[in-house]
Amino acid sequence: MDIDVVVRAQGGDQAAFAQLATEGGRRMNALAVGILRDRTLAEDAVQQALLSIWKDLPQLRDPARYESWSYKLLVRACYAESRKRKRRQAEVYGVDIREPVSGDDIGSVADRDQLDRGFQRLSLEHRAVVVMHHYLDMPLEAVATALGIPSGTARSRFHRAMASLRAALEADDRPPPPPAGATTVPQPQAADG
């Protein structure tokens, strides 16, 4: 991130702010989609975050911390959009943040679907840490700073989220239990001798 652009945007330069929004927009959108798992809500969260960034940018003390600070505002906007979703029922789309790999087969689609189901079971706080760490390649220390939480809390959320994802994936791999009231037929045993 070019600090000069941030400083110009802080002074009210709309072209500089447009450059910041354009350069960071794709990553912000990926982060919002990863956290909310809904494209429409993610777009709303990014728009709200950009408005907050524009409004609060003059008060940012250290322009070098712009990126981390902007992610913090975006995560807050994601939380707000999630609360709105709980008040109104939204259509949810399964979303893969990364581009599909060419030659994708049905097995990998099923794997992504299974991972997406597990990811949707995570809380927003856990999703935010995982998305920022894995998809934005941010170290957990930087994630903690961006979220305004202690680094130990970021590490804890990350490890709990990964354990929850593993448990969800393992649960999906287990065969379903027999239907209630179903009887099992005993298998004949081989005769000795």
The verdict on residue 186 lying in a domain is no
87 and 66 assigned to the same domain: yes
Q: Is the domain of 11 the same as that of 87?
A: yes
Whether residue 193 is contained in a domain is answered as no
Say what the pLDDT of residue 172 is: 65
What per-residue confidence (pLDDT) applies to 115? 76
Q: What is the pLDDT of residues 159-176, one digit of tens each?
A: 999 998 888 778 766 666
> Which residues of the chain are modeled with pLDDT < 70?
86-111, 172-178, 180-193
CA 6 to centroid of chain Cα atoms: 26
Q: How many domains does the chain have?
A: 2
What confidence score (pLDDT) does residue 113 get? 74
The pLDDT score that the predictor gives to residue 129 is 93
Tokens of 37: 């798992």
pLDDT value of residue 183: 60
Q: Are residues 11 and 90 in the same domain?
A: yes
Q: Are residues 55 and 130 in the same domain?
A: no
Q: How much is the pLDDT for 91?
A: 44
Report how far residue 111's alpha carbon sits from residue 169's, in angstroms, rounded to the nearest whole number: 9
- Are residues 64 and 11 both part of a single domain? yes
Question: Domain range spanning residue 149?
Answer: 105-175
Dmax of the chain from CA atoms?
93
Residues 76 and 11 in one domain: yes
**Which CATH number characterizes residue 8's domain?**
1.10.1740.10
Residues 154 and 86 occupy one common structural domain: no
The pTM assigned to this predicted structure is 0.69
**CATH code, 150:** 1.10.10.10
**The pLDDT value given to residue 168:** 78
Query: Same structural domain for residues 83 and 26?
Result: yes
70 is a domain residue: yes
- pLDDT of res. 85: 74
* 137 Cβ neighbours under 8 A, 6+ residues apart: none
